[in-house]
Amino acid sequence: MSSLVETKLPNGLTVHLKEIHTAPLISHWVWYRVGLRNEIPGKTGLSHWVEHMQFKGTPQMPAGVLDKAISRDGGFWNAFTYLDWTAYFETMPADKIDLALNLESERMTESLFDLDEVESEGTVIISEREGNENEPLFRLGEAIQAAAFQRHPYRFEVIGEMEDLHTIQRDDLYNHYRAHYVPANAVLAMAGDFDSTEMLKKIAAHYNRIPAGQPPAPPEIQEALPAGEQRVEVSGPGETSYLTLAYRAPVAAARDFFALTVVDSLLSGPSGLNMFGGSGISNKTSRLYRALVEKELAVSINGALQATIDPYLYSLTATVHPGRSAADVLTALDEQIDRLQQSPVAEEEIRRAVKQARALFAYGSENITNQAFWLGYAEMFATYDWFTSYVQTLETITPADVQHAAQTWLQAGRRVTGIYTPNGRQEAFA
Amino acid sequence: MNPFASINIQSLPGPDDTRRVVLQNGITVLVRPNPESASVVISGYLQAGSLFESDEKAGLAYFTATALMRGTARRSFQEIFDALESAGASLGLGCSVHTASFGGRALAEDLPLLLELLAESLCEPVFPAEYIERMRAHIMTSLAIRAQDTADMASLTFDRLLFPGHPYGRADEGYPETIAAITRDDIVAFHRRHYGPRQMVLVITGGISPDAALEQVEKALGSFANPDQQLPPVLPEVKPLLKTIRQHVKIPGKSQADLVIGSLGPRRNSDDYLPISLGNNILGQFGMMGRIGDVVREQAGLAYYASTSLNGWIESGSWEVSAGVNPDNLTRATDLILQELKHYIQDGISLEEMQDSQANFIGRLPLSLESNSGVANALLNLERFQLGLDYYRRYPGLVAAVTPEQALEASRRYLDPRHLVIASAGSKKS
């Protein structure tokens, strides 16, 4: 049996605990509501760089001590920076969890941001970006985001603009850190082999001393709906063309987000909410696989819908068959989208998508790290209820909802169509 | 330090909770139940790896393995995947030098379906001609993408130089000219000669009792027979390097270059494997990628990743350092890595480092075995390398018994900084 505790410390830190006694492990996460969304032009990449600096030591735990301490105890740890949030986790043998509590409570406010470390980490991040730029789909995605948004920071990559990575200073990073890393802007999530009452006492002992602080007001960014279809073309090395359609998507909290989740499942195959341990279900019977891959127009197709605070993008990406053009793929894709807009889907197709979502949950729940991930994730863009009622909400989606979502969100006038063309090849929108 | 402190040895897979049965037709089946789990994982291999193929038809074993699910005597490609995907299940096949492998997962109630589809794919594939051509285009596209991937190309070059004239030096997926030369008849013949139950291994873990699992396996695969099945040939001897060999693959237009430096490593079941593995952890894994990560990433800020890996196979193995760096920093990163290798081989490792490494190996065991797929993978390794069903129970003791001197002595048998392969791929230095 597993039980769930939801509470808030006096300083505003939200705490979610779930006891799971299947393995002698505990996964401890701290989430902050800060990401690309909280950045401004000229200083993009701050949140991600701050995340890197969080591994560079505090007064009591200097750089190089932390990673060794975690490894020595057989734990693993990592961090992620996304559009709307930054999260840190340690998964440890249950009797070693104090190390994670010490570490996370300390680096909530006491990270050093040593100047030499800042500079050295800057070059590491530039190297990370150079690695990303090797990938055609990173370059295409970057161009699409820039075209899809006029004002919203979502128009940049989380890693930041290269120019900004060369000009950001230590104080920019430190101020960003101190502004956003406060208890009231954070969620602590923990799953695993512990007693909740005892664990709450430990958590209070570690975190109560941190002053509440005042999280910055959420950014208010007015981003108009796209005025019409935009087309971007990126060229570069290679022999393979890619086509991406990126539509403005609903926010995660909206009912339409769930309808679009079903749309995505029907078009490009199921994808769940697992970050760890839940390898996917294939998509060979999805509508687009059958229309594009089985018809030898593309060699792969996938969809991506992200749960976000502000409207982001729903994208479909095809790897174009070597004997075909991106324009051929676009025509076939549009036919399938049109079909979804014109005729209601069978109830059976929705039931199938729901069963797939259930199976993905079963797979993801084997993994303690993934269980703890789930406890905090939805708090970053909605509430925890969003997660607990995810499958039930999917079950309420009707064929009419699916058709309406396709009609509303998959309008060509609200999308960016992007093509990656190998150097020297005539392509694209000719 | 007591490295056993957080481990409950009896909770690790052992002879008392793992059922091992050899069916009459030669299939070895291992089952370990996990009553907490709602799902099951299957995993296994057959003796149908790329060591059977010629240089001219490199990629034939891989092509065959991935073509098995494109249609069987009972179901079309779409019917196979409709059955799987409707159940939220997955099943896939792949191939390496020694074996063709398979893996799948499903909700526990769908294990019969998974086994039935596995059996059909292995025993009764029909290799429809249209799918062979479709797959050829897919493989060609993935090879074109591989040719642009700096990490893949550095690694491929490394293997070719380290294992000249040996199947270990060949790419399992083949090369454009060899994939173009493979006919449907080749695939049919490869399947007929090499797919059979002798020395096949199947592992099942998850929410199923051993009796029920074995009954289902017997029903699905008990009649699998192939009197013509050929068993693996004796492989050519792997010869040690006599000098350092360097090679750079030029890939224009890339902002990051990749580097692989290394030498031969021990066989997986060599007595040298565990001591070197502990040493390798210190060299390029422990904490934030060990000594190599510390020098290349943390101190010099040259790379987002710089780490080592020890790959022990049946006949031999490799010991590799990998890093992704700006093309301008290729020489500097290479020099730093070579210095560290010399330092390791000349000066050895301290007792403290060894104790850290041992604590890490033992402490992370529960984490690696928490999920059904983790356990399945562990059991498969036991069988593949004949380590014994009690291996994980003995493992903490085996790890704790290794001394720094043993690790160094074993390392010196393989890693000689004067005799290395240094392979890189990317844009030319600017």
CATH number of the domain bearing residue A151: 3.30.830.10
Do A145 and A281 sit in the same domain of this protein?
Answer: no
pLDDT tens across A175-196, in order? 999 999 999 999 999 999 999 9
How near does any CA of chain B get to the CA of A366, in Å?
A: 5
Give a yes or no: residue A213 inside a domain.
Answer: no
Is A249 a member of any domain?
Answer: yes
Question: Strands (DSSP E) along A95-197, which ranges?
Answer: 186-192
pLDDT of residue B9: 82
Chain A CB within 8 Å of residue B365 CB: yes
Q: Which of residues A154, A172, A207 is at a domain's end?
A: A207
Cβ pairs A/B, distance under 8 A = 197
Of chain A, the percentage scoring pLDDT greater than 90 comes to 88
**Residue B227, Cβ neighbours under 10 Å: how many?**
5
Q: Work out the angle between the directed axes of helices B286-293 and B273-284 (0-180°, nearest 10).
A: 80
Helices (H), B294-400: 330-347, 351-363, 365-368, 372-384, 391-400
- pLDDT category at A428 given cuts 50, 70, 90 is low
Q: Is the pLDDT of residue A361 over 90?
A: no
Closest approach of A126 to chain B, Cα-based (Å): 8
**Assigned superfamily of B14-221:** Metalloenzyme, LuxS/M16 peptidase-like (3.30.830.10)
Asked if residues A419 and A429 have their Cβ atoms less than 8 Å apart, the reply is yes
State chain B's mean pLDDT as an integer: 95
Contact between chains at A64 and B298 (C-beta distance less than 8 A):
yes
> What confidence tier does A222 reach under pLDDT thresholds 50, 70, 90?
confident
pLDDT the model gives residue A276: 80
Token pair for residue B23?
């069916």
B75 touches chain A (CB under 8 A): no
Q: Do A192 and A309 belong together in one domain?
A: no
Task: Sort out which chain B residues have CB atoms less than 8 A from A63's CB and list them.
Answer: 298
Helix (H) or strand (E) holding B129: helix B129-147
Reply yes or no on whether the pLDDT at B303 is more than 80.
yes
CATH no. for B245-426: 3.30.830.10
Q: Which residues of A touch B134 (CB under 8 A)?
A: 294, 296
Asked if residue A244 is part of any domain, the answer here is: yes
Q: Do A68 and B252 touch (CB under 8 A)?
A: no
Average pLDDT over residues B24-37: 95
Q: What residues contact B418, with CB distance under 8 A and at least 6 apart?
A: B243, B244
Q: Residue B430: pLDDT band by 50, 70, 90 thresholds?
A: very low
Mean pLDDT value of segment B165-179: 97
Per-residue pLDDT tens over the stretch A249-259? 999 999 999 99
Residue B66 pLDDT more than 90? yes
Long-range Cβ pairs for the range B217-223 (8 Å, 24+): B217/B23, B217/B27, B217/B29, B217/B115, B218/B23, B219/B112, B219/B115, B220/B112, B220/B115, B220/B116, B220/B118, B220/B119, B221/B23, B221/B25, B221/B27, B221/B115, B221/B118, B221/B119, B221/B122, B221/B197, B222/B23, B222/B24, B222/B25, B223/B25
> Does residue B84 carry a pLDDT above 90?
yes
- The alpha helices in A378-423, defined as continuous H runs, are 384-388, 390-395, 399-409
Mean pLDDT within B299-319: 94
The pair of three-digit structure tokens given for residue A19, joined into one six-digit string: 């006891």
Q: Closest Cα of chain B to A131: distance in Å?
A: 5
Rounded CA-CA distance A358/B88 in Å is: 8
Question: In what order do the strands lie in the sheet containing B317-325?
Answer: B245-250, B421-426, B257-265, B317-325, B303-312
Looking at residue A2, what is its pLDDT?
53
Same domain? A163 vs A297: no
Interface of B with A in 133-172 (CB under 8 A): 134, 137-138, 140-142, 144-145, 147-150
Number of domains in chain A: 2
Residue A84 domain flag:
yes
Place of tokens 């075909």: A324
Give Cα separations from B38 to A281, B105, B217 (angstroms): 16, 11, 19
A189 and A239 co-located in one domain: no
Q: Are A364 and A274 in contact (CB under 8 A)?
A: yes
Residue with tokens 């060979």: A284
Q: Which residue of A has its CA nearest to B364?
A: A74
* CB–CB contact B78 A238 (8 Å): no
Q: Minimal Cα–Cα distance from B301 to chain A, Å?
A: 5
Q: Identify all chain B residues contacting A368, using CB atoms and an 8 Å cutoff.
A: 370
CB-CB under 8 Å, B253 with A131: no
For residues B59 and B142, what is the distance between their CA atoms, to the nearest angstrom?
13
Q: Is residue A391 part of a domain?
A: yes
Cα(A293)–Cα(A287) distance, integer angstroms? 10
Residue A428: name the closest of A193, A140, A172 by CA. A140
Residue A111's SS3 state is: coil
Using the predicted structure, report yes or no on whether residue A318 has a pLDDT greater than 70: yes
Are B28 and B204 contacting, i.e. CB atoms less than 8 angstroms apart? no
Confidence of residue A23 (pLDDT cuts 50, 70, 90): confident
Which residue does chain A place closest to B326, by CA atoms? A127
* CA A11 distance to own-chain centroid: 27
Partners of A189 in the β-ladder:
A16, A29
Same-domain pairing of A279 and A318: yes
**How far A262 CA sits from the closest chain B CA (Å)?**
14
Q: Are residues A197 and A238 in the same domain?
A: no
CB contact under 8 A, A296 and B286: no
Chain A residue nearest residue B299, CA to CA: A120
CA B195: distance to chain centroid?
20
Residue A262 resides in a domain = yes
B82/A contact by beta carbon, under 8 A? yes
Task: Identify whether residues A290 and A412 lie together within a single domain.
Answer: yes
Q: Determine what percent of chain B is predicted with pLDDT higher than 70.
A: 98
Q: Do B85 and A277 touch (CB under 8 A)?
A: no
- Provide the 10 A C-beta neighbour count for residue B284: 29
- The pLDDT score that the predictor gives to residue B202 is 98
- Domain residue limits at A88: 4-207
Nearest to B86 among A239, A240, A352 (CB): A352
CB contact under 8 A, B87 and A355: yes
E strand spans, A237-389: 242-248, 298-305, 313-320
Asked whether the beta carbons of residue B85 and residue A91 sit closer than 8 angstroms, the reply is no
Average pLDDT over residues A204-228: 93
Q: Is the Cβ of B351 closer than 8 Å to some Cβ of chain A?
A: no
Whether residues A63 and B298 touch (CB distance < 8 A) is answered with yes
Nearest Cα of chain A lies from the Cα of B107 at a distance, in angstroms, of: 6
CB contacts of B84 in chain A (<8 Å) are: 281-282
User: Among B160, B97, B244, B80, which Cα is nearest to B425's?
Assistant: B160
Angle, helices A399-409 vs A326-342, to 10°: value is 140
Q: Best interface-test mutation with A: which of B8, B79, B256 has the largest number of A CBs within 10 A?
A: B256
Considering the domain boundaries, does residue A417 fall inside one? yes
Q: Are strands A415-422 and A230-236 parallel, antiparallel or unpaired?
A: parallel
Question: What mean pLDDT is reported for chain A?
Answer: 94
Domain boundaries, chain B: 14-221, 245-426
* pLDDT tens track for B364-383: 998 899 899 999 999 999 99
* Whole-structure pTM value: 0.94
Return the pLDDT at A63: 83
Answer whether B364 sits within 8 Å of A120, measured CB to CB: no
* Whether A154 and A275 share a structural domain: no
Mean pLDDT of A126-142: 96
Q: For residue A104, what are the CA distances in angstroms to A28, A37, A75, A90?
A: 9, 23, 14, 9
Average pLDDT over residues B107-127: 97
Q: In this structure, what token pair is assigned to residue B280? A: 């390798």
Based on the fold, state whether residues A297 and A384 are members of the same structural domain.
yes
State the pLDDT at residue B1. 47
Contact flag B6-A24 (C-beta cutoff 8 Å): yes
Query: Alpha carbon of A39 to those of A154, B251, B282: distances in Å?
Result: 9, 35, 38
Confidence category of residue A366, pLDDT binned at 50, 70, 90: confident
CA angle A138–B148–A322, rounded 5-degree value: 90
Selecting from B39, B85, B303 the residue whose C-beta is nearest the C-beta of A281 gives B85
Residues A413 and A285 in one domain: yes
Residues of A in contact with B324 (CB under 8 A): 127, 131
A-chain residues within 8 Å CB-CB of B150?
134
Q: Are residue A332 and residue A379 in the same domain, yes or no?
A: yes
Whether A278 has a pLDDT exceeding 70, the answer reads: no
Chain B positions touching A128 (Cβ under 8 A) are 304
Chain A residue numbers with beta carbons less than 8 Å from the beta carbon of B36 are 22
Q: Which residues of A touch B362 (CB under 8 A)?
A: 74
Same domain, A199 and A305: no
> Distance (Å, rounded) from C-alpha A29 to C-alpha A373?
7
